[in-house]
Structures are given as C-alpha cells and as structure tokens.
Amino acid sequence: MREFDYIIIGGGCAGLSLAYELDLHKKLKNKKLAIIDPRKNYKRDKTWSYWNVINHNFDDCVKKSWSTFLVSDTARNVNRSHCVSYPYQSIDSEKFYQKILGRLKKNKNIFFKKKLNKSKYKGSIIFNSVPSIKKFNKDKTNYWQHFYGIEIELKRKRLAKSDTFHLMNFDCEQRDAVHFIYTLPFKNNRILIETTWFSKYDKKLFDYQKQINQWLWDWMRLKKTDYKIKYKEQGAIPLFPIYQKNKKNFINIGTAGGMTRVSTGYTFLNIQEHSKYIRMNIENINEAKRFQIKKKYYFFDKIFMRVLDKSPKIMPKLFFNFFGIFSNTNSIIRFLSNKSNLLDDIIVIFKMPKWVFIKSLFN
Ligand SMILES: Cc1cc2nc3c(=O)[nH]c(=O)nc-3n(C[C@H](O)[C@H](O)[C@H](O)COP(=O)(O)OP(=O)(O)OC[C@H]3O[C@@H](n4cnc5c(N)ncnc54)[C@H](O)[C@@H]3O)c2cc1C
C-alpha cells in the first residue's frame, strides 16, 4: 500500500507553490502529501520579480511595486518607460515561505521530510523540482544568466526617488559577454543592486563585488563606508531549454519542469500558472497534457540566443532601443511574460535589428 498519495521533491518556489495551491483548493482533504527538502531553514534567499500580468496567490508577499523603469546604454543615455497596466513587483522569498508554511503546517495530511527512502515512493504521484543540473553544468557551451546582488542601507545619503527601478544599466564593463546592473530601490535609503551577466561559464566574470563597487561609485558616489549590506543573493538561471521527461506518476515542476523563459530567466509566474494547471487536473494528472511555455517563445528565444552568441556587443543598444521612446511597452511586457498576441509579436519583431536576426535564422 502506498504511504503518500503525492510526494513533492524540493520544497522551494515550485514545490511550495504547488502544495499551497492544492491545500487552498481542498485537494488534500483525503490525501496524504510528503514534501521532501534537505534544507535547514527558510530564510530569505531570493527576490522574485516579474511584471504582474496574471493573478496569483502571493500579492500579500509583494515587497514593492513600480510603474516606471529605466534602461541605460553604455554611454549613459537613459530611456524611461511606464508599466502602469503591468506593474513590476518584487517578492521577498522569506515572506513567501512563511505564508505558505504557516498554512501547510496546520494540515495534518502534509508531512515535511528531510529525506525519504525511495521504497516509500511506490504508488505515489511525484512532483519533482530538482533539476539534474550536473548534467547541464558539464556542457560549457550553455548560456547562463548569472548574478550577484547586495541590498544596502544608506547611512546618510538618500535616494531622490524610489518609485523608479533600473531594469538594465549597461554603463558598466562589457568584456565579451552581456553585462548590466539591475537596481531595485525599495525605500529612499534601501536599494538592491545586482550585477548580471548573460554568458557561458567563465570564472573570469565572477568578480561581482568589484563590479558593484565600481557602479556604486560611478552612479551614486558611494564608498563602502557609506552603507551597510543588509542582504546578499547570488544565482545562475539557465538560458537554455531544460527538458526533463515526465513519466507515469512523475511530473517535473519549476526550473526542472521547463518553467524558465529562456531569453529572460523569468520563472516565478510560470510556476504559479503551472501549479494552477496541476491543481485543476490533479485527479487525472497522468492523462493531462504536459504544461509548457508556448512553443513560439522557444522559437523566438532560440534566435535571440543565437544573436547574443554571435554578436554580444550589439546587445546594450538592442535593449536600449527595445524600450525606446516610441516603444509600445505593454506589448513588450506581454511578450517577455509569455502573454503576447500576434500584434504584440509583430511589434516586437519590428523593434529588432532585422538583418542580424535574419542572418541568425539561417545559421
Ligand atoms: C537568486 C535567484 C533569484 C531569482 N530571481 C528571479 C526573479 O526575479 N524572477 C523570476 O521569475 N525568477 C527568478 N529566479 C528564477 C526562479 O524563479 C527561481 O530559481 C525559483 O526559485 C525556481 O523554483 P524551483 O522550485 O524550481 O527551485 P528552488 O526554488 O530552487 O527549489 C528547489 C528546492 O529543492 C531543494 N533540493 C535541492 N536538492 C534536493 C534534493 N536532492 N532532494 C530534495 N530537495 C532538494 C532545495 O533545497 C530547494 O528548496 C531566480 C533564481 C535565483 C537563484
């Protein structure tokens, strides 16, 4: 006899989002669920940001919302865009974990385990959120979005405004990859600064702290003694499709389930949509179609990644023009968030340097 009806391997963003969705919609009433995760604690370890294009369960975990953002090129020209219809939001992972765990721990049918003997998996439906990253790490031709960020509290100086965030600031060292600084001002004395690279695995690009120090000086005239570091985060998001096959009673979720958009690394909202899809089909999950990001985005992203590989140097200008003054920001946001219609796709295609993209199409 099976011990658990459902087993979730990995209680991170995808595993907990799914468990929360199942519990919220009373799908665990007469079912037992085990969540397996070896982690020791649930402190803040990530800041999940996204353009709010869908409804989800975690509005109350939003730390800050912005409706204006900037993109700067290497020569310090700045483009300002507004995103009132789809505000950009950041979720503090600690709030998210606390909200979910606070609810799930009250349900006697949910069991938290650090590990579980494989023999206990028999007959259960397994949702796996642990990617076989080792396999992907071996391939040095893969691109990653890798980054390091610090959230600082200013001792004296104050930001003039905290209602505008910098999505991409290319006024930093470029080398032979794509590099930008991403900043999220949470208050007028608190700001998250992340140095972000789109590159293949290259240890020479790991001088993250130096890049941040340089930017803090160049853009804010801040020395180390002018602020306190309150939080640090580091990560690497795959910029290549992760396709781990689902099997009978074994469904991949989260990054392992291909929920990362290849050209942007955005994953959080895709995870929320996938959780909802599983909850709606839980009674017949083995028969349900695999939930995937729409195929057209794989096609667009594949071409984009080819251009990035062949011509990294054009990227700062490309992104700068993408969000230029005559841009239809809503169309671009819908495109980046997998919600574009045909007209949005056409608008985005017309914003791209056509010749470089056509060449890449036939390469
Ligand atoms: C620092 C960081 C910032 C990010 N920011 C954004 C963002 O702003 N917007 C966005 O859309 N996406 C972002 N992402 C991408 C993506 O949303 C996150 O990686 C998200 O956490 C993916 O969810 P997941 O459940 O697949 O993986 P995770 O949240 O990493 O969960 C995996 C879980 O598996 C556990 N685990 C590991 N090994 C085992 C094992 N052998 N057995 C059982 N459990 C195991 C881990 O402890 C972890 O809790 C970010 C990623 C990182 C790393």
| Degrees to nearest 5, angle at CA 38 with 37 and 42 | 75
Give a yes or no: residue 358 inside a domain: yes
Residue of 66, 144, 268, 337 best suited for mutating to test ligand 1, as the one with most atoms within 8 Å of CB: 268
| Tokens (6 digits) for 78 | 């700045």
> Do 212 and 111 fall within a single domain?
no
**Phi, psi for residue 125 in degrees, rounded to 5:** -90, 125
Whether the CB-CB separation of 362 and 312 falls below 8 Å is answered with no
Q: Does 36 contact ligand 1 (Cβ within 6 A)?
A: yes
Which amino acid makes up residue 319?
F
Provide the residue-wise pLDDT of the chain in tens; the chain has 363 residues.
Answer: 789 999 999 999 999 999 999 999 999 999 999 999 999 999 999 999 999 999 999 999 999 999 999 999 999 999 999 999 999 999 999 999 999 999 999 999 999 999 998 888 889 999 999 988 666 666 778 899 999 999 999 998 888 888 999 999 999 999 889 999 999 999 999 999 999 999 998 888 999 999 999 999 999 999 999 999 999 999 999 998 888 889 999 999 999 999 999 999 999 999 999 999 999 999 999 999 999 999 999 999 999 999 999 999 999 999 999 888 667 999 999 999 999 999 999 999 988 888 788 877 776
**Calpha distance 180→72 (Å, rounded):** 9
Number of domain units in the chain: 3
**Calpha distance 85→126 (Å, rounded):** 38
In this prediction, residue 352 carries a pLDDT of: 86
Q: Does 5 contact ligand 1 (Cβ within 6 A)?
A: no
Give a yes or no: residue 67 inside a domain: no
| Tokens (6 digits) for 21 | 């969705």
Whether the CB-CB separation of 348 and 331 falls below 8 Å is answered with yes
Q: Does 345 contact ligand 1 (Cβ within 6 A)?
A: no
Whether the CB-CB separation of 7 and 118 falls below 8 Å is answered with no
The torsion region of residue 348 among left (phi > 0), alpha (psi -120 to 50) and beta comes to alpha
**Calpha distance 120→5 (Å, rounded):** 11
Block residue for tokens 């199942």: 22
318 Cα to the center of ligand 1, angstroms:
29
> Do 125 and 246 fall within a single domain?
yes
**Calpha distance 216→222 (Å, rounded):** 5
Determine the structural domain holding residue 318 and report its residue range. 295-362
> Do 231 and 251 fall within a single domain?
no
1 Cα to the center of ligand 1, angstroms:
32
Strands, sheet with 88-92, edge to edge from the N-terminal-most edge strand:
47-51, 88-92, 62-66
**Phi, psi for residue 8 in degrees, rounded to 5:** -105, 120
> Do 257 and 191 fall within a single domain?
no
> Do 111 and 253 fall within a single domain?
yes
> Do 157 and 172 fall within a single domain?
yes
In this prediction, residue 134 carries a pLDDT of: 67
The torsion region of residue 172 among left (phi > 0), alpha (psi -120 to 50) and beta comes to beta
User: Helix, strand, or coil here: 270?
Assistant: helix
Q: Does 8 contact ligand 1 (Cβ within 6 A)?
A: no
Q: Does 148 contact ligand 1 (Cβ within 6 A)?
A: no
> Do 125 and 248 fall within a single domain?
yes
Q: What CATH number is attached to the domain comprising 121?
A: 3.50.50.60
**Calpha distance 88→66 (Å, rounded):** 5
> Do 37 and 113 fall within a single domain?
yes
Last residue of a domain, one of 256, 284, 312: 284
Closest C-alpha to 51, from 265, 333, 320: 333
**Phi, psi for residue 198 in degrees, rounded to 5:** -105, 105
**Residues present in the chain in total:** 363
Give a yes or no: residue 272 inside a domain: yes
DSSP letter for 247, please: B
**Cβ neighbours of residue 150 closer than 8 Å, sequence gap 6 or more:** 192, 193, 212, 229, 231, 232
Q: Does 233 contact ligand 1 (Cβ within 6 A)?
A: yes
